[in-house]
Structure 1
């Protein structure tokens, strides 16, 4: 058994990530999505203009201007598509370029008719993908551009009415899209959290644990830091259930989950991965840190005052470069857990990672 003072591993602090201009949009799961939509939007605009030009028109003097706008829209679509613009670049090019083309159409259209309604296209596209502060910026840009185009058209009567009508109508539509997107994103986030959360203990469930372990191993691969996995199993839990009932068992699980939270660092991933099995993923924790953490949890669990004494056993595995896979490090921790069980329970053991990773020696008895 590991002897000595139980000292907490150093708490790690994470720098607050810079907020992305791109909103947490439901369905926006790949950078190419914005590129495809922006390109198709501009291409659809070019096709729409060319189709409109085929309709009978008493004043065809604006047709040359619209043909130029159609060509520019098609070129913009090609630049976004073949230029492999992704993410924020594709969104901003689609929005700003689209606003410019619509303003050019407002300037050349005779009569102006419903041309200004096409501001809906780039603005709704931006409203779907961008955070609200950026949406405010692109809306302001659109209305400044619209006002400039109208100012260059002294032939248009009731320009103020046209401006106000377009601004109010389109702005309301943009606000509705932003509101609905935020609501849907909130719902999707809630459903996702529910899908990876154990309802009894509030810890991450098996699915969330596997995702987190993959993520931390990938992060360690980039940084070169060690990553540790600790697997816990409550000893004789079935006997507790059979003797005192499932309600007592549930209370024991909840109490152990609280103990884990008190013992862990902020940012460590804590999970319930089975009936009475728990796990902790410790980033930037070496073998000594991880074993100290496991031993501290084992000791605190032994000291709990409960109806029936319930101890816990733990298995520890540490991955270093070249890093093991998720299954390899989990198997190593699981084997260490069962070594602790065979050694008499209520203890922690340090396991052995696969041969292609750094091998840890067995822990102290």
Structure 2
């Protein structure tokens, strides 16, 4: 009698744990779907739906598992495996990958085969079910690991949690059924089930915590990127260009390699705006941005640093940079642009400046700016190279200050020339 009461208490405890796990999964799933509706992040929708589906299947199985027909129990278990597949797919979708429905449904399909071929009391049936869930957990960790090139602080916990979940599933089977033997497995099975129910709750809460860390980091990264990108052309703005070029200068200095800056100014741009309107002017700016991206190399840093003024930093010497500048000038001049059926001349003036030792970005742009002004003065649609200048810290500060003071005047002169 005492054994029966103890068994009933253990069954009640396990039932309570699974009901708590299903309730936690439902609450977390609803919260994820709520944020999905507001943030429109597809991965949140997948995660939320997976939690609701998995929680519902666990709750139904826990409440009526003993009285359910075999086919109903099999279907509920298959729903749980589909939920595991949806969690794996959410990790893929979060990193911009496509949905793979065969992969989502593969675990349920394998379990249906195992359910038909193996009896309910078969040890292999238990192993197969745990192995499917562990495989999905490992696949989820692998999907996050494949994005290791992205500097995300929460990447390691995001990989460790599903990996530990898979280990928690397989460990009792390996220790209980294969190491300890059948008798030990039977005596400790209720303990394993209770531990797994607790681990399931912790896994659900921990996973959602990691999900929100990942989403938060992505939002912060998106805001930082938006602050460094010109929305019209998709190139770096002045801030983004300055940050990246400073890093390039540091890197190339360590390797004792040269750096050259190209400064571009679209000729007669004000006349385009006055004649055809600002919408046409925006199209010219986007066209020139496209020309820069497709003409220069991937290793070159390109940005729009003013109205019609663009800049590029190339990790090479002046001679090689002049060849690249001529290629940009010729490509833009031969673009064959027509606005409302009227041919529009497209040309650009370019100033080239090689970096002297100790020269920072602003000082280098100031030297290139003088070469650009000379290209404008000499007739536009041409490339001018600034003479090599030795640079000391004092000269560098002077050049930077002159650039800051002279910039409004130079822009005003460019407007007059364009008119």
Q: TM-score normalised to the size of structure 2?
A: 0.49
Q: Deviation digits for residues 64-89 of structure 1, max 9, x if unmatched?
A: xxxxxxxxxxxxxxxxxxxxxxxxxx
Alignment of 1:28-67 (within 5 A): none
Query: Does residue 228 of structure 1 match 2:260?
Result: yes
CA distance in structure 1 between the aligned counterparts of 2:333 and 2:361, rounded to whole angstroms: 30
Post-superposition shift, 1:313?
Answer: 0.3
Structure 2 counterpart of 1:214: 246
Aligned partners of 1:138 and 1:225: how far apart in 2? Answer: 47
Q: Show the counterpart of 2:311.
A: 279
Preserved CA contact (<8 Å) 2:172 2:192 = no
Are 1:313 and 1:340, in contact at CA under 8 Å, matched by a contact in 2?
yes
Aligned to 2:352: 316
Query: Offset at 1:216?
Result: 0.7
Residue of 159, 164, 189 corresponding to 1:133: 159
Contact 2:168/2:196 (8 A) holds in 1: no
Q: Deviations over 1:80-110 (max 9, x none)?
A: xxxxxxxxxxxxxxxxxxxxxxxxxxxxxxx
The 1:146–1:326 alpha-carbon spacing in structure 2 relative to 1, beyond 3 Å, is: farther
Structure 1: gaps (5+ residues): 1-126, 358-365
Distance 2:298 2:262 in 1: 16
Q: Aligned ranges for residues 1-365 of structure 1 at < 5 Å?
A: 128=154, 130=156, 132-137=158-163, 159-283=191-315, 285-306=316-337, 307-319=343-355, 322-352=357-387, 354-356=389-391
CA shift in 2, pair 1:353/1:211, >3 Å: farther
| Other-structure match for 1:93 | none
Structure whose CA Rg is larger: 2
Q: CA deviation at 1:133?
A: 2.9
CA distance, structure 1, for counterparts of residue 364 and residue 207 of structure 2: 48
Report if the CA contact (8 A) 2:158-2:207 is conserved.
no
Write the distance in 2 (CA, Å) between the matches of 1:220 and 1:189.
26
Answer whether contact 1:313 1:341 (CA < 8 A) is retained. yes
- CA–CA separation in structure 2 for the residues paired with 1:183 and 1:279: 33
TM superposition shift of 1:288: 0.8
The alpha carbon displacement at 1:160 in A equals: 2.8
Partner SS for 1:130: helix
Q: Distance in 2 between matches of 1:177 and 1:356?
A: 53
- CA separation in 2, counterparts of 1:205 and 1:337? 19
Separation in 1, partners of 2:309, 2:157? 40
Q: SS of the residue aligned with 1:313?
A: strand
Distance 1:318 1:131, change over 3 A: farther
Query: Is the contact made by 1:235 and 1:313 (CA closer than 8 Å) also made in structure 2?
Result: yes
RMSD: 3.2
Q: Answer 1 or 2: higher relative contact order, Cα 8 Å, separation at least 6.
A: 1
Residues 205 and 353 (structure 1 numbering): CA distance in 2 closer, same or farther, change over 3 Å? farther
TM-aligned CA distance change 1:176 to 1:315, over 3 Å: same
Distance 1:129 1:352, change over 3 A: same
Deviation at 1:245, TM superposition (A): 1.2
Change (3 A) 1:305 1:169: same
- Aligned CA distance change for structure 1 residues 135 and 282 (closer, same or farther; 3 Å): farther
Provide closer, same or farther for how the CA distance between residues 210 and 161 of structure 1 changes in structure 2, counting only shifts above 3 A.
same
C-alpha distance in 2 between matches for 1:220 and 1:138: 43
CA distance in 2, matches of 1:309, 1:174: 60
Return the structure number with greater helix share.
Answer: 2
User: Cα offset for 1:137?
Assistant: 4.1
Equivalent residue for 1:97? none
SS at match of 2:196: helix
SS in 1 for 2:253: helix
The answer to whether the 8 A contact 1:128-1:177 is kept is no
